[in-house]
């Protein structure tokens, strides 16, 4: 981007673990500049220099609870917050014609529908997981499910840290969607969210989910294909949360010359 001003990025939920990681990743990447840092109104960081609030040197970015003013001057929004908060940020990003990268998970189908009007005015890049490895795993899962018949049972098992609030994870649902697509059916028809008690025998073609929560696990996902006499396990293990931040920054940069619409990381990585 030599000869042109670097695109300005705003980080939402900047006081959180992912928010801080996004700030650090932007600084290390050098292809964009941080122009805004948003927290909720009344947060103790409001009005403070972001660098100092994060325990380091001043960086000249003042933390704000005024999302309207912050997003109005941005070319990209990096957003790992909550579904309802992301819906509000989507409206503001659409007004600013800014790329909205959404790493937030836990959306309902109705909430995803509510993102569509904003995508008619600006690019929205939403993914349950921003890492290259996971998105390759999604593609592999789709392909394997298409090749193997329904005599191969599919289970998605995920593990995360004790503080994660949604289950199954957004990544697990991405993998389940991919498996269902491989079989040519909607996930809603095949999904078994959890098992407890006398559940009866497994239904042919169903896709089961299991969630583990504990400690500081960054993220582990297995897609298990099991048939009589053999199993195939596709696995991704994340050991550093920075992979998600790097993916989000790459997505925001990729989206700078894209028209309005709904995109995902397969588009960003050219895996579609």
- With vertex at residue 219, the alpha carbon angle to CA 31 and CA 159, rounded to the nearest 5 degrees, is 165
CB 170 within 8 A of CB 128: yes
Closest CA to 253 of 2, 29, 18: 29
CB 179 within 8 A of CB 142: yes
* Dist CA 42 CA 35 (whole Å): 20
- With vertex at residue 246, the alpha carbon angle to CA 178 and CA 253, rounded to the nearest 5 degrees, is 90
Peptide bond into 38 cis (omega under 30): no
- Total Cβ atoms within 10 A of residue 222: 18
Who contacts 69 (Cβ-Cβ below 8 Å, separation ≥6)? none
121 is catalytic: no
Of 160, 161, 221, 258, the catalytic one is 160
CB 8 within 8 A of CB 73: yes
160 is catalytic: yes
* DSSP state at residue 92: H
Maximal C-alpha separation, the chain = 66
Who contacts 47 (Cβ-Cβ below 8 Å, separation ≥6)? 62, 63, 64
CB 244 within 8 A of CB 131: yes
CB 244 within 8 A of CB 134: no
Of 121, 161, 164, 258, the catalytic one is 164
Give the residue numbers annotated as catalytic, written as ranges: 160, 164
């Amino acid at each position: 981007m030599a000869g042109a001003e670097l695109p300005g990025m705003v980080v939402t939920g900047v006081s959180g673990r992912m928010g801080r990681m996004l700030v650090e990743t932007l600084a290390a990447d050098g292809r964009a500049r941080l122009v805004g840092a948003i927290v909720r109104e009344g947060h103790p960081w409001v009005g403070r220099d972001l660098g100092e609030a994060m325990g380091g040197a001043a960086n000249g970015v003042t933390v704000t609870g005024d999302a309207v003013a912050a997003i109005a001057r941005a070319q990209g929004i990096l957003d790992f917050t909550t579904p309802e908060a992301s819906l509000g940020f989507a409206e503001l990003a659409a007004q600013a014609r800014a790329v909205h990268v959404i790493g937030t998970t836990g959306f309902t189908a109705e909430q995803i529908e509510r993102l569509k009007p904003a995508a008619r005015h600006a690019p929205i890049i939403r993914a349950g997981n921003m890492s290259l490895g996971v998105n390759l795993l999604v593609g592999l899962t789709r392909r394997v499910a298409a090749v193997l018949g329904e005599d191969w049972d599919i289970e998605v098992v995920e593990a995360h840290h004790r503080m994660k609030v949604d289950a199954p994870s957004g990544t697990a649902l991405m993998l389940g969607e991919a498996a269902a697509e491989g079989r040519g059916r909607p996930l809603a028809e095949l999904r078994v969210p959890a098992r407890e008690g006398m559940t009866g025998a497994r239904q042919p073609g169903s896709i089961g989910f299991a969630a583990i929560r504990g400690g500081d696990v960054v993220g582990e996902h297995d897609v298990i294909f099991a048939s009589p006499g053999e199993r195939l396990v596709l696995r991704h293990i994340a050991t550093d949360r920075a992979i998600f931040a790097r993916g989000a920054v790459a997505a925001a940069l990729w989206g700078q010359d894209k028209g309005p619409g709904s995109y995902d990381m397969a588009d960003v990585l050219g895996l579609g």
